[in-house]
Structure 1
Amino acid sequence: MKIKSLKLVCFSPTRTTNVIIQGIARGINQSTTMEILDITKPDARKQQLQTSENELLVVAVPVYVGRVPTLVNEWLNTIEAHNTPTVCVVVYGNRDYDDALLELKGILKKRGCIPIACAAFIGEHSFSSSETPIAVARPDASDLNHAEFFGRKINEKILSISSIDQISDMNVPGNYPYRGETKTWIVDFIAVSDQCTQCGVCAEECPVGAIDFENSSVIDTEKCILCCACIKRCPQNAKTMKPGLVKDAAIRVSEKFKERKEPVFFL
């Protein structure tokens, strides 16, 4: 099957999902036009994506409490695809991806995509810190090798078929109806120390515009999705987790899920 272009879509507040999708793209190595649409920032999510059967779409999203994040779900449901061969990828913080991969696959099928491959990768958990390490520094070299290998297998599959009609549906783990809630807690959990210089990096990095550009101590907890990008990207390390609900969750995950998990593929 001839593919004229490769389109990559990712939501990646802390960069882990972006790194994975780039690794997969290197493995696919199509000698075609490649377009990257990073929908992390609010303005990027104003764009609507349209794709055809002559394009290969790769969509990678993080797992939030075992599900596709609500705001990502909303954007994905605006895609207009026309029998587009699609790769579904979720990235989780070494706990579990639960129903997220099945949910992502279902969303994209409804939008006109034809899933040809699915995968779950591991990235450093959003709640990970020096106090509560969870999958630190992942994706690492081994993860990226897996990503490139997965990309090569996708390419082999595409070359082995003459048309999208030859693709049969694949089973991936998960339950339907999906379990749990996609909405995150509304909680004041970020402490800002005197080291804050009001540089504005955190406000710029926030994927939902929850941080005031003039005063980075002002955080809209209604908008916040607990991605911790502001904590991880602060050049002064001025933001940390306050004691409470989120930090307690970080401690639990750090203690319970120490054993390294590996990427899984469905082709």
Structure 2
Amino acid sequence: MMNILLLYISPGKTTEKISKALSDRFEADGHRVTRLNIGKPGSRTFKEVGSSIFYDMDLIGIGNPVFHLRVMHPLTEFLDQALPYAKPRFGAFLYLTYGGISSGRALLDLSNQLKKNNIPILGGFKVWAPHFYNRVEYPDIEARKTIDEFYSRIKESGYQPLEDEKTKRLFSYQTRKVNIAYHLANVIGNLRELPIQFDQDKCRGCNRCVNECPVGALTMQKIPVRDTSKCVYCYHCAAVCPHGAVICPTEKVADMVRTNKKLIGVENPQNAVYL
């Protein structure tokens, strides 16, 4: 039996759902899994979590939802503080969810962060996920197939780490396209940061948006107040508000995603295992 830590952030709940499906797969084989969502209150900083959660871990999985082809900055900042304390017996693996054109450099950037802390990398996988405005059942069949394939292959490998050159080669997929996409999507992505406002007449002060904001960008006064320096424009507040008090032009977000896909195309394959 192994002790496994799944550490992730999940603004739109999709990475959390993938983490749950992954956890179920490991637990079905008798392993003990701890899931840590650093977007939850009380878990947003390494100081709140503490180093003890890393003690006696055999394997660490790090999950990231890709925003603008990048690793989310709260996860990067958390890992900068946490990884020096992480000494997993076998190493770590990575997994991504993304809903736009590409998963970008996220796997490569995360692997470099692990390498800097001398943590062996066992591989990873990526799965396409719906945006917050799509109400569909998830994980879908393809995502579950990818999780099953990853689990089977990492188990067959005996949890052996990849060589550095193989890691770099695997996680540098579609580099040329990603570099082009990075610049184009960055321009369009900046436009995607559409206004978020709060309707004082509809707001009931229930604090749901404040408690569920994955980056702690909201505080409650008479109505929620947003810290624009922290906000990542995931629009999760709009998705979870039970009173319709968050004013967000979701149709414009959907239009911009469609524009990205027309201009740049969609990553192929959308789901993949890297081992």
User: Which TM-score tier does this pair reach, normalised by the shorter chain?
Assistant: 0.7 to 0.9
Q: Which residue number in structure 2 is paired with residue 223 of structure 1?
A: 230
> Cα distance, 1:116 vs. partner?
0.8
The amino acid of 1:205's aligned partner reads E
> Cα distance, 1:144 vs. partner?
2.4
Whether the 8 Å CA contact 1:6–1:30 is kept in 2: the answer is no
Identity, % of aligned positions: 24
Q: 1:226 to 1:5 in 2, by over 3 A?
A: same
Of 181, 201, 209, which aligns to 1:202? 209
Of 236, 243, 254, which aligns to 2:258? 254
The Cα offsets for residues 196-227 of structure 1, whole Å up to 9 and x where unpaired, read as: 32221111111233223233343222221212
> Cα distance, 1:17 vs. partner?
0.4
Give me the whole-angstrom Cα distance separating, in 2, the residues matched to 1:209 and 1:7.
23
> Cα distance, 1:261 vs. partner?
6.2
Q: Which residue number in structure 2 is paired with residue 14 of structure 1?
A: 12
Q: 1:51 to 1:158 in 2, by over 3 A?
A: farther
Q: Which residue number in structure 1 is paired with residue 34 of structure 2?
A: 35
Q: 1:41 to 1:53 in 2, by over 3 A?
A: closer
Q: 1:226 to 1:55 in 2, by over 3 A?
A: same
Q: Which residue number in structure 1 is paired with residue 242 of structure 2?
A: 235
* RMSD of aligned residue pairs (Cα, Å): 3.3
Q: Which residue number in structure 2 is paired with residue 154 of structure 1?
A: 154
The amino acid of 1:16's aligned partner reads T
What runs of 5+ residues in structure 2 fail to find an aligned partner? none
Name whichever structure is richer in helix by fraction: 2
Give me the whole-angstrom Cα distance separating, in 1, the residues matched to 2:273 and 2:4.
20
The amino acid of 2:70's aligned partner reads R
Whether the 8 Å CA contact 1:85–1:115 is kept in 2: the answer is yes
What runs of 5+ residues in structure 1 fail to find an aligned partner? none
Of 127, 146, 163, which aligns to 1:168? 163
Give me the whole-angstrom Cα distance separating, in 2, the residues matched to 1:139 and 1:216.
34
Q: Which residue number in structure 1 is paired with residue 69 of structure 2?
A: 66
Segment drifting more, 8-17 vs 29-38:
29-38
Q: 1:54 to 1:252 in 2, by over 3 A?
A: closer
Q: Which residue number in structure 2 is paired with residue 55 of structure 1?
A: 58
> Cα distance, 1:72 vs. partner?
1.1
TM-score (norm 1): 0.78
